[in-house]
A = this chain, B = another copy of it.
Amino acid sequence: MKSIVKDLTHERILNAAESLFALHGYDGATMRQITEKAAVNLSAVNYHFDTKEKLYAETFTRIIRPLNAERLTILTQAELLAGDHPVPLPAILESFIRPTFMLAAGRPQFLALMSRNFSAPPPFMREIMAAEFSAISQRYIRALQHALPGVPPMELFWRMFYTVGALLFTAAHRETMALLSHGAIQSPDTESIIRRLVDYASAAMCAPRREPAMS
């Protein structure tokens, strides 16, 4: 069928784009590189995606939508399991963190693209990002409020933001860590990474608020 052929080219381009945008960023990756890697014609990008900007947007939403959907699925399961009780804090955080590494399995540039797009999103992505994350951020804040009623909501918001920063930064820097640690750290297994991040964030989320220090 024709649609199958179309879908193949479409996907080949998206796969190549994912890897090259992750490696070189929006401005750094050229359509020539992408179409060469995808082994399709240069014009295929414009035919299937119209512009480079739209190609980038689709490349990113293709990874972020299933990720956020999976997060909400696991969080909802945990809420059903907890019944009237709040979901335990580590379970909330793990529902956010674990899917990141699960969906990244076998896609070496998945995490790099995520991190890059959050830390330095091309300007045309601002609206798209806000749309993709508006719902999920509210869901998580509510779950956190139930789990930690003693912490002010605004504080929870900040801390969740810090946690996302820690997650993305680490995700994109496994090699850097090996470098700075002089070989003490080599890319550990996924379960260790998840456990470490959940432990870190769980402790951090319920930090006491320090009183302003005297001089």
Interface residues of A (CB under 8 A from B): 24-28, 90, 115-116, 118-120, 129-130, 133-134, 137, 153-155, 157-159, 161-170, 172-173, 176-177, 179-181, 184-185, 195-204, 206-210, 212
CB neighbours of A155 from chain B (8 A): 196
CB neighbours of A212 from chain B (8 A): 195
A130 to chain B, nearest CB (A): 6
- The A contact surface, by secondary structure, is helix
Assess the A184–B154 pair: CB atoms within 8 A. yes
Q: With contacts A27-B25, A177-B157 known, is A200 near B119, CB below 8 A?
A: no
Q: With contacts A130-B179, A180-B137, A195-B212 known, is A162 near B154, CB below 8 A?
A: no
Assess the A199–B209 pair: CB atoms within 8 A. yes
CB neighbours of A161 from chain B (8 A): 169-170, 173, 177
What are 7 A-B interface contacts by the 8 Å CB criterion? Answer: A116-B120, A119-B119, A120-B120, A154-B185, A157-B185, A162-B197, A204-B207
Assess the A181–B169 pair: CB atoms within 8 A. no
A200 to chain B, nearest CB (A): 5
| CB-based nearest B residue for A29 | B27
Q: With contacts A161-B170, A172-B119 known, is A180 near B134, CB below 8 A?
A: yes
